[in-house]
Amino acid sequence: MERGYVRLNEHDEVEIASLNEDPRRRLFDESIPFPRSITGITEHGGIMALAITGRGSTIGFGHVASVLRYRAGAIVVGVNPNELRTAGIKSLTLYYSGLGSWAGIERADEEFGQDSRGILKTYSIALDGAVDETVGLSGGTQLKVSSHWSVTGPSDRRILATPTAITVQANRPRPANELRERLHWVHALACLAYSGFIVADGGAVIPDLGREGESPTYWDRRFMRRPKGAPEPTDHDFPMFRLASIGGIGGLGRWVRICEQHPRAVRPVVDEYLQGFRSPSVRLLEVASGIEYWVNRHRRSAGWAKASGSKALVLSKHVGKSFDQWTGNSANWARKFWDAYNGLKHEPSFTMDPRETAILAASGSLLLGVSVLNRAARSKAPAREIFGTGHFNWQLRDAVRDLVA
């Protein structure tokens, strides 16, 4: 047991500092891996820091003690360290406001009563029983999307929350990062749907305790802090697609599996919303590399990937008529996109108008993303929904048509 403190530093990292009061103890041996968790007792209760991202030390001499420092990306608050059997986690949950319509599980029915003058006199809300949908993932884990509600505050100032809960649970305790990574891909899908970083309101965790009990509070910078430069969601009422568009909970499970198997195709699509702005040329290179990987990965198993032409042309033909209509001429688009990719990749003196580069990069990212969504949906419903209506990305659509005309 060591004395120290816990705080949230200026980088939104959980920082843990402790005194090294044993003069015979070595500080850090770089060959020793980071701990899976760090536990402690504070004036606010027990804590367990997870997702350890860094460590350091200050060496003291004479009567000055040395200090050990750790940085963590997540923390559990309200857990008794003495009851923990292992550092494993059985379940992680994130709560999101505004995603009920997207997930298709809104459960609150409101009624407003007015007098003859139209002044509000009564208000009531009925919350149906909890609804959840579950799909199995690999490694003995399950993914669950469910309704959740809570009431807090004094009697004269009640605060009602009805967020959507996204949970990854395991049959046996697993490393926290394993469950966090699967939540990350669901979070990425929601960010893609809303073209911006969706901030989770909070979370809960079930650690590996020797008994059943309440779920302690969970905080995670990865999901609860928008990175600098990451865009905010465009509109919570009108996402680009909904969970039903990819087949509901079954499609969500397939999306996670695709992300785990093909991150090289998915990351170029979602990282713009998860990590922030990239220069147009860098984004185009990343997206084109993702398209190249995605087509090549299917060459042995799918006939569409064996077609002649650039990888951009092959993928645009595979996505189909909706993309051709959206661009005005997908063949011209593919030629311009691939010429730009080859120029940026192979010709040091190649230059291109930044606006045109940005248009090609954004449209290429949309094409690749829709192809992955089609795969998760096992249909071309996402392509028809995203490209087949004028409600989404119409400004980008018009810019693409002007460019390829």
Please state, in angstroms and rounded to a whole number, the distance separating the CA atoms of residues 377 and 243: 10
Closest CA relative to residue 312, chosen from 337, 293, 332 = 337
Helix (H/G/I), strand (E/B), else coil: 327 = helix
> What sign for the dihedral angle of Cα 25, 31, 36, 37?
positive
The DSSP H or E segment spanning 2 is none
Q: Report residue 229 as tokens.
A: 């430069």
CA distance 295 to 314: 8
Beta strand 37-42 with 45-58 is antiparallel
Q: What is the pLDDT of residue 282?
A: 95
Residue 82 DSSP one-character state: G
Distance CA 381, CA 373 (A): 9
Residues with Cβ within 8 Å of residue 339, at least 6 apart in sequence: none
Q: Where is 105: in which H helix or E strand?
A: none
Helix (H) or strand (E) holding 83: none
d(CA 17, CA 316): 53
Q: Is 338 exposed, middle or buried (0-12, 13-18, 19+ CB in 10 A)?
A: buried
Distance, CA of 374 to CA of 199 (rounded, Å): 26
* 166 within 8 A of 175, measured Cβ to Cβ: no
Whole-model pTM: value is: 0.90
Per-residue tens of pLDDT for the chain, all 405 residues: 778 889 999 888 999 988 876 655 555 556 667 788 999 998 888 999 999 988 887 776 666 677 888 999 999 999 989 889 999 999 999 999 988 889 887 666 777 888 777 788 777 776 665 678 999 999 999 999 998 767 777 877 777 777 899 999 999 999 999 999 999 999 999 999 999 999 999 999 999 987 776 789 999 999 999 998 899 987 767 899 999 999 999 999 999 999 999 999 999 999 999 998 889 999 999 999 999 999 999 998 999 999 999 999 999 999 999 999 999 999 999 999 999 999 999 999 999 999 999 999 999 999 999 999 999 999 999 999 999 876 678 899 999 999 998
Asked whether 84 and 39 are in contact (CB, 8 A), the reply is yes
Write the DSSP assignment of 19-51 as a string of letters: EE--TTS----TTSPPPSEEEEEETTEEEEEEE
Amino acid 196: pLDDT: 94
What is the chain's Cα-based Rg? 25
Q: Which residues pair with 219 in a beta bridge?
A: 75
Cα gap 97→116, rounded to integer Å: 34
Q: What is the pLDDT of residue 159?
A: 75
- The helix (H) or strand (E) run that includes residue 107 is none
- Reference 284, options 353, 373, 223, 198; nearest CA is 353
Cβ-based neighbour number of residue 391 at 10 Å: 10
Residue 379's pLDDT is 96
The tokens of 160 are what? Answer: 């009602």
In this structure, which amino acid lies at residue 350?
Answer: F
The SS3 of residue 204 is strand
Joined tokens for residue 354: 């930044």
